[in-house]
Structure 1
Amino acid sequence: MLLVDAQIDHVTGLLSLREGCPLDVWCTPNVHNDLSTGFPLFPMLEHWGGLRWQPVGLDDHQEVVEFSIPFLPDIALTAFALHSNAPPYSPRRGATSCGDNLGLYIVDRRSGKSLCYAPGLGNPTPLAMRFLHAADVVMVDGTLWEDDEMQALGVGTSTGQQMGHLALNGNGGMCELLNDLPSSTRRILIHINNTNPILDRTSEAAKTVQDAGIETAYDGMKLTL
């Protein structure tokens, strides 16, 4: 199991997998800390055999780290820091640090093809853009269409930026960033909130995304590199 952050919608699946413990879990020290305290999955799951922490060493001194997973010998993994936000139950909420969120640059050594996975891309730093430009396929944060979307609909009080998500629409938005990638890059939106109008295939937002050659992920989607 490889965790890119400690957000509740990314980690609660571990509870459903409890009968399969012990499980190896790769994550950063920040994520391990949050899942041992504010949302204590590591202590809770000790009752079913536990989680074996496999550290991914991103911290304030190291924003990129290469690592491997023994049962994936043909896959080269590089973790890089994403500037987003820590979960509400983290002491670093609103004051995020390196290791709260990571992106993954994944290379299939057999084909040489690569994928960049960045579901918490709140700030397009030069580091993040370097990996996006290098990948054959990118899977990136498509949470919100507009930054104030949840406020406007009355279902939340935070903007996308406050939560750590870059909105799709507007100047400097995710769609604009994706349009700057090489034309050969396959671009796929993931982590889409249920308020996002791109989920309505008949909406203007969905048409804008489709016309830009940007795909919207769906349940059961498969990729071949």
Structure 2
Amino acid sequence: MWVRVLGSAAGGGFPQWNCTCPSCRAVRSGSRPSIARSQSSIAVSADRERWFLLNASPDIQSQIESFPDLHPDEGRVSRLEAVLLTDAELDHTIGLLLMREGRGIEVHATDSVHETLTTGTSVLRTLEAYCPVKWQEVVPGAEVSLGDGLSYSAFDVPTEKSMRFPGAAAYGRVVGYRLTDTRSGRSLVYLPCVQTLTSEIVEQLAGTSALLIDGTCWHDDEMPSLGLASKTSRSMGHVPITGPGGSLETLSQLPIDRKVYIHINNSNPILLDDSPERAHLDRHGMEVAVDGLELEI
């Protein structure tokens, strides 16, 4: 199984267009070693011919162009087979609208996410006015074949984040995916949004070969302390990396070959290559995703 990180930043990308935090200033000016990043999404394939997208970011056009394996063939046929959604957030779904020129699109999403995208944000309803949309319901716990050599099983990720579009069920608002190469049995877990690393979620990580996980904020109060927003990391639905209940303490102890933080907010100092926070992650065996990173599992 091959994995390509198309985008590694949280919503807004890095630098964020309206932000003057230290990290955004540094990447714009080149005053410190850092790399610009687009909004998070990955592509997965068992054969490097048929690809599956996990989330569709607003940067999908440039992300596809940056990766030749996703370029259409001479018959203008896309190599993207389907899009698997972890939630209904705009930075994970707006890219669907940018794929409207296709002959059709298959979207895997839970009933809760489908409801939000249909009656809340209207993303799917709008998309259906341009091209055929096939909805494949994602049922947490069910094993789903994606064709020769690849399957997935989703798992529910409980969240108490306030709902912008009430009406959808709480169960299935956010899910993680465990993707498995059915020939080797090796697997990847993609979990860009998780509010708390409960024992049930940690159990879902057991035996996996690689993990791409929520690295939105370093501290829970990171954004308020920088004067960027009043919301904490947890109130936005993301476990912080450090502090009480932070993800690093748990993740650093797990016997997983590759452990990579993704969905990194522009305010997070780990985006600066020379930061003490980045060095701290290095000592604990954790990686920081960058656009274009490839994993072979």
Pairing 1:75–2:165 present: no
TM-aligned CA distance change 1:21 to 1:147, over 3 Å? farther
Q: Percent identity?
A: 37
Matched residue, 2:30 = none
CA distance in 2, matches of 1:68, 1:87: 33
Counterpart mapping for 1:14-163 below 5 A = 14-58=96-140, 64-69=141-146, 72-85=147-160, 88-91=163-166, 97-163=170-236
CA distance in 2, matches of 1:87, 1:162: 8
Matched residue, 1:61 = none
TM-aligned CA distance change 1:185 to 1:84, over 3 Å? farther
Q: Structure with the greater relative contact order (CA < 8 A, sep ≥ 6): 1 or 2? A: 2
Structure 2 residue ranges without an equivalent (≥5):
1-82
TM-aligned CA distance change 1:85 to 1:2, over 3 Å? farther
**TM-superposed deviation, 1:185:** 2.7
Q: What is the aligned-residue RMSD (CA, Å)?
A: 1.7
**TM-superposed deviation, 1:52:** 1.5
Q: Secondary structure at the match of 1:104?
A: strand
**TM-superposed deviation, 1:47:** 2.1
Q: Secondary structure at the match of 2:206?
A: helix
TM-aligned CA distance change 1:74 to 1:190, over 3 Å? same
Letter in 2 for 1:47: A
Structure 1 residue ranges without an equivalent (≥5):
59-63
C-alpha contact 1:29 1:55 (8 A) present in aligned 2: yes
CA distance in 1, matches of 2:160, 2:295: 28
When structure 1 is superposed on structure 2, of 120-129 and 191-200 the one drifting more is: 120-129
Tell me the number of residue pairs that the alignment of Structure 1 and Structure 2 aligns.
Answer: 215
CA distance in 1, matches of 2:218, 2:249: 12
Match of 1:2 among 84, 90, 100: 84
CA distance in 2, matches of 1:125, 1:189: 18
TM-score (norm 2): 0.69
- List, as ranges, runs of 4+ consecutive aligned residues in structure 1 with deviation greater than 3 Å: 85-88
**TM-superposed deviation, 1:172:** 2.3
Q: Secondary structure at the match of 2:96?
A: helix
C-alpha contact 2:177 2:189 (8 A) present in aligned 1: yes
**TM-superposed deviation, 1:128:** 1.0
CA distance in 1, matches of 2:274, 2:242: 17
Letter in 2 for 1:194: N
CA distance in 1, matches of 2:162, 2:178: 23
TM-score (norm 1): 0.90
C-alpha contact 1:35 1:42 (8 A) present in aligned 2: yes
Q: Secondary structure at the match of 1:5?
A: coil
**TM-superposed deviation, 1:85:** 4.8
Q: Secondary structure at the match of 2:179?
A: strand
CA distance in 2, matches of 1:50, 1:87: 31
CA distance in 1, matches of 2:119, 2:160: 17
Matched residue, 1:202 = 274
TM-aligned CA distance change 1:218 to 1:87, over 3 Å? farther
Q: Secondary structure at the match of 1:18?
A: coil
